[in-house]
Structure 1
């Protein structure tokens, strides 16, 4: 993914210039650079990059705090760059939702794999998040259908199988989803109660 749009956040000018040069040599497009986490957040809001490469230790807002905000608001993957391999920092970065962690000095040889890992982790995270959302929605729909079946069973003295068959038949006849029909049954029951 060489057309990747990247924001770099690093408070040390020489390190920032080095990272930017390496990213460009790797074929990536650097669309913005920041000197602190707050600025990185602002750039992400304005530019919506595909990835952020960010130092962990910066003034105002540190890299971990900024990564948390960026993930929460825009779900942009962040590669943290740090001079430290401290376990606590790594745990904090992971808890903040950082998708890759890179120890300085940054080289093309370790930057390229860190970006690849971040992109793959991000893709897996997005897929899992979508699946989780889909499953939650299915569970909610199932609860609605069960509730509507219960209403039909009580009001029309039907068995569970008969109530389900009636809901399915109505759903097909009206060409609406079963969950939508269940909502209507529940709403009508509340109105008549």
Structure 2
């Protein structure tokens, strides 16, 4: 997917002090990253600073992927990224020079999909983003399946409670209670779990 709409979030100072070698190196690395993305055919829709306005800007731009161009200490940018992607997750790739294990773990906990340390070459960018995107999609698929499973278990619990209520109130067998519940759902054109929840709600109201 080469037409990814990418937002680059950088903690790098573009107009670095010419006397500061570290800042110059960071600025050059940020420039190399953006050039590599463009050469690989990606669409950089914005390059944003890691400030308190970041969540709002990402919400407005709706990018397909977020790339963090981070200096050594990226705690602040990670905090902003967490807020920005809390309601709608996106693949996040972080390029950094920080190989500290605790920083890497904090980044992954914050939602970073791929944490890339050093060795930034233009030819590496596309494979890295492809892998990050594939991993993100797999994670989302697993989360969706887990959510579906939890939902189905919750529905089953509601149905079992409603069956128990019918069995107790009308002296029915479990199968009779189920058939009655099913008949009520069909008559009302509702799902079994929906009619079961309605029965339980009525029971709660009546005490």
2:91–2:113 CA contact under 8 A, matched in 1: yes
1:130 aligns with 2:141: no
Establish whether residue 142 from structure 1 lines up as the match of residue 166 from structure 2.
no
The answer as to whether partners of 2:72 and 2:96 remain within 8 angstroms in 1 is no
Unmatched segments (≥5 aa) in structure 1: none
- Alignment check: 8 A CA contact 2:155 2:193 kept: yes
Partner Cα distance (2:77, 2:116) in 1: 13
3-state SS of paired residue (2:87): helix
Compare 80-89 and 25-34 and name the one that shifted more. Answer: 80-89
**Matched residues, number:** 193
Which one has more relative contact order, counting CA pairs under 8 Å at least 6 apart?
A: 2
Q: CA deviation at 1:125?
A: 1.8
1:77-156 map, 5 Å: 77-156=91-170
Residue 43 of structure 1: which of 54, 57, 74 is its match?
Answer: 57
Deviates more, 1:90-99 or 1:11-20: 11-20
SS at match of 2:6: strand
TM-score by length of 2: 0.84
Q: CA RMSD in A?
A: 2.1
**Does residue 69 of structure 1 match 2:83?**
yes
Distance 1:59 1:34, change over 3 A: farther
- 5+ residue gaps in structure 2? 15-27
Picking from 181, 185, 193, the partner of 1:171 is 185
Relative to the length of structure 1, the TM-score reads: 0.89
Return the structure number with greater helix share. Answer: 1
2:47: which partner in 1?
33
